Structure 1
Amino acid sequence: MSDRRPGHDQPDSRGRTGLHRTGLDLSGNPDVRVRDVEVTSDGWHVLRRTTFDYRGRDGEWTTQARETYDRGNGATVLLYDPIGRTLLLTRQFRFPAYVNGHSDGMLIESAAGLLDGDSPEDAIRREAAEELGVGIGELTHLFDLYMSPGSVTERVHFYAAPYVPADVAGGGGVEEEGEEIEPVVIGYDEALQLVADGRIVDGKTVILLQWAALTLFG
C-alpha cells in the first residue's frame, strides 16, 4: 500500500523521497532481517523506528525495534600551527549541551559540519572557511568514526591540517543559518589541560587532541 505522505512517495520540503525504505535492503549480516521501517519525524533530519529480527548466539530469533536519528554524515578538522604549537578552534553556543548540564552551553570545538552532499574533503574545507576564515592546503585523513552508534547514524570523517596564523581572515559562521562562531587560538599544552579540567568537553575535539598528543606534538 502506497503511503502518500511527503518524504515517502512525494518529495518533502528538501526534495527527499523513500525515507521509509532506508534499511529494508540490508543484507550484510545474515543474523539480521529488517521487517519494517516507520518514519516518526521527518523535519530537517529524520527519526526512524525500525523493526527487525535478530538471531542471537544461541541461534534463537527475536524481534526487536530501534530508533535511529539520521542527520547525515559529517567531517571535522584539527587545525594546527607546527611552529607556534597552537591550535585554531571554535567557540559557540550549543543548546543541547546547555539543556543537559553544561554551565553556559559555550563549547570549544574543532571546526566541523555536515557533508550536505559534498565529499568529506570539500565539506571540511568549506566549514573551515566559513567558521574560521582559513583556506586549508594539505589535508591528512585520520579516521572515520561513529560518534553515537546506539542511536545516531552519523559517521564523522576526521582530518588534521596545518594553518598559518597570518592567513586567518573572516570566519564566524553563516549568519543566515544563525551561526555565531568565535575563532579561538589555544596553545597545544593548554588545550590538553582544558580537557583534563573539563573545559573542553566536545567528543570529536577530545579525540583529535588525543591524536595530536600521540602523533603531532609528542
Structure 2
Amino acid sequence: MKPSLLKPAATTAALLVGLACVTAHAQEIPAPTSATEPSRFALVVEGGTVGFGPSVIYTINPKWTVTVGYTWLDHNYDVESDDNKYDGKLKLSNFKALANYHPWGGSFHFSGGVFATDNKIDVTLRPTERQTYKINGNEYSSTFINSLGGSATFEDDIAPYVGIGWAKNPANSGFSFYATLGVFFAGDASANLTATGPITLNPQFQSDLRAEERDINDDLEDLGAYPVAQLGVLYRF
C-alpha cells in the first residue's frame, strides 16, 4: 500500500477506537431519570370518636409505618346515676404514637401503641321541678344547695391501644381515604363531686354525695375501654 493511503486509514482507525471508548464509558454511567421516589411522609386530617386533628405517617419500609398525631374535641355527654341525669360535657385531648404492620405491603395494617390522654367529663346537676336534689335516695331542698357538680377523669394517662386501619400504599403518592378502628384502655373512671351551700356541713349529705360519685363511676365503666373509630383524608408526598 502506498504511504499516501496509509495516513487516512490510520486516522480513521484512531477515530473508531476513540468512539468505541467513549461509548463504553457512557454505558457505565446510569441514564438520568426524571422519576423520583415518593416521600416517606404522609399527612392525615382525621375525625371521629377521639376528636379531630392532624396525624403524620412515616414509612420505614413496605411492611412497617409509624403514626403520630393529636386529636381533641368538646361535646355534650349526659351522665346518669341511680337517681339523676347530669348535664355533662366530654373534653377529649389525645396524643397517639402507633406502629403499623402492613402484612401484604398494601393499605391494610394492624396497629399497636399508646394514647397519652387528658380526657374528662364535667357534670352539673340541675334541681327538679320541685326545686329539690335527690342524692343517694334522699331529697334535699335547693334552698340549702347553691350548686352541685364536678368532673370525672380516668385512671391511666398512658393508655395502650390495639386496632386495624387502612392507609395508602407507601409506594404510591397522592390523596387517599384513611380509616382506623380500635380501642384504647384508659382504666377506671373517678368522679369528684362538690356542692356549695349550707348543706355541705351536713355529714349525711356528704355521705350521700360520696355514694353518688360511686354511681357515676359505675355508669362510666364502659368508657374505660374507649372505642376508636376515625375517618380522614391522607396525602402521601
- Is TM more than 0.5 here? no
TM range (shorter): under 0.3
More strand by share: 2
TM-score between the two structures when normalised by the length of structure 2: 0.22
Structure showing greater Rg: 2
State TM-score, norm by structure 1.
0.24
